[in-house]
């Protein structure tokens, strides 16, 4: 599912959510794991922005199927945010999004036509046809 609600100043990136069937959720300390491609892209996005400490993942009610993820630069950690620190990059998860992301892998995928963050999420029960939202 593609969603266009990423607030990265000038919409620098896109993101997709994929329901992952029959994937065993592996126990980890982090609610979200990052692939090497995601780590590299986050590092690149933050490279010339010393005022930001990382990216924040949120969830909003939107679309015909219920929820959509948001990505924003962040300057501080909120008290209720969960922090994922992996390979030197920091991703903060808003409280409302924490349960929807358990066991999720965040990847960054580039093709000839697009480049986007992809959330491979085993918790998603369905996505909508328009590609903007999902439900848990």
List 105's β-bridge partners, or say none.
Answer: 33, 120
Lowest-confidence region among 42-46, 75-79, 125-129: 125-129
pLDDT at 50 over 80: yes
Q: How confident is the model at residue 15 (pLDDT cuts 50, 70, 90)?
A: low
pTM for the model: 0.73
C-alpha to C-alpha distance for 121 and 106, rounded to whole angstroms: 9
Of 21-25, 85-89, 94-98, 128-132, where does the model show the most confidence? 85-89
Domains, the chain, with CATH or none = 32-135 (2.60.300.12)
Q: What is the pLDDT of residue 118?
A: 82
Q: 54 or 30: whose pLDDT is higher?
A: 54
Give alpha helix (H) positions in the chain: 36-46, 95-98
C-alpha to C-alpha distance for 124 and 3, rounded to whole angstroms: 15
Q: What is the pLDDT of residue 89?
A: 95
Q: What is the pLDDT of residue 7?
A: 42
pLDDT at 2 over 60: no
pLDDT at 94 over 50: yes
Looking up tokens 């005022």, which residue turns up? Answer: 51
Pairing, β 134-135 against β 126-127: antiparallel
């Amino acid at each position: 599912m593609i969603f266009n609600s990423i607030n990265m100043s000038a919409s620098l990136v896109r993101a997709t959510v994929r329901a992952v069937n029959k994937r065993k959720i592996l126990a980890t300390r982090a609610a979200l794991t990052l692939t090497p491609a995601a780590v590299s892209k986050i590092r690149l996005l933050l490279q010339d922005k010393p005022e930001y400490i990382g990216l924040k993942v949120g969830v909003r009610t939107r679309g015909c199927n219920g929820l959509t993820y948001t990505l924003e630069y962040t300057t501080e950690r909120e008290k209720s945010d969960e922090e994922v620190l992996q390979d030197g990059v920091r991703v903060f998860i808003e409280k409302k999004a924490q349960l929807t992301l358990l066991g999720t892998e965040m990847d960054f995928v580039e093709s000839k036509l697009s480049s986007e963050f992809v959330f491979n999420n085993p918790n998603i029960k369905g996505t909508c046809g328009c590609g903007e939202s999902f439900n848990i």
